[in-house]
Copies of this chain bind each other. A is one copy, B any other.
Amino acid sequence: MLTFVGLGLYDERSVTVEGRDAIAAADRAFAEFYTSYLVGADVDDLEDHHDTTIDVRDRAGVEQDPEPILSAAEDGDAVFLTAGDTMISTTHVDLRLRAEERGIDTRVVHAPTAESAASSLTGLQNYRFGKATTLPFEWAHGADGVPDSVVETLEANRERGLHTLVYLDIKVDHPRIAGDAYMTASEAAGLLADNWDPDALGVVVARAGAPDATVRADRLGALADADFGDPLHLLVIPGDLHHVERDALAGLADAPEDAL
């Protein structure tokens, strides 16, 4: 049996009780942190908390060499741990399909996601979000500014009055940089202010799920000059605002009256 367990958004206590029990019951535990990671816990913290040994796989160790995971799941109970909910990335879906093809039973234990936290923390209603998009580092997408596809998504949602969740680029173990890189919300707001609309309202969600989670709404131009502390950050570009959403941005995200 291969159980995919989402670890949630922040630390070793962000997993569900069901997920914790699945980890405790497993013979082997694997994890990947290249699609996302926990800000408040490293692998040692997780191993201590769950009293287990975790085999962390890099992208190649999941996509090109999944054999150790699959054979552990064939011979006994294995868990595969990811930050946030699980199966959000194609890399997880692909692993699940390979397991199913080999006749290995699979199970999913859900966890909170950045996407639902963004809605939850800002008071912006989840059914009023359109398609999400990801803003890449300029050096990563190989051109200056903001890709057309990002602007198209923002414009198409705006036209329909919908909010846009903008995921910010994460580069882990990238050959072109030393260390890992996480785009900040101010960088993102600056890119969008310079290449799209500096007066558009933006809502920063910093460290969703952490005890010091921060939400701040202002014009993109103003957000670009602010500092929201440690990663991970998200940016939401609101569409039309329902009156409770407006109250929430004023009351919970310090939105200036004249920006709403």
Contact = CB atoms under 8 A, between A and B. Distances in A.
Contact of A112 (B12, B85, B96): B85
Nearest to A165: B127
A126 B119 contact: no
Nearest to A163: B131
A21 interface: yes
Nearest to A152: B160
Nearest to A17: B13
Given A97-B248, A120-B108, A244-B93, A21 B13 contact: yes
Majority SS at the chain A contact face:
mixed
B120 A88 contact: yes
Interface of A: 6, 8-10, 12-18, 20-21, 85-88, 90, 93-94, 96-97, 100-101, 108, 110-113, 115-117, 119-121, 123, 125-134, 156, 160, 162, 167, 208-209, 213, 242, 244-245, 247-248, 251-252
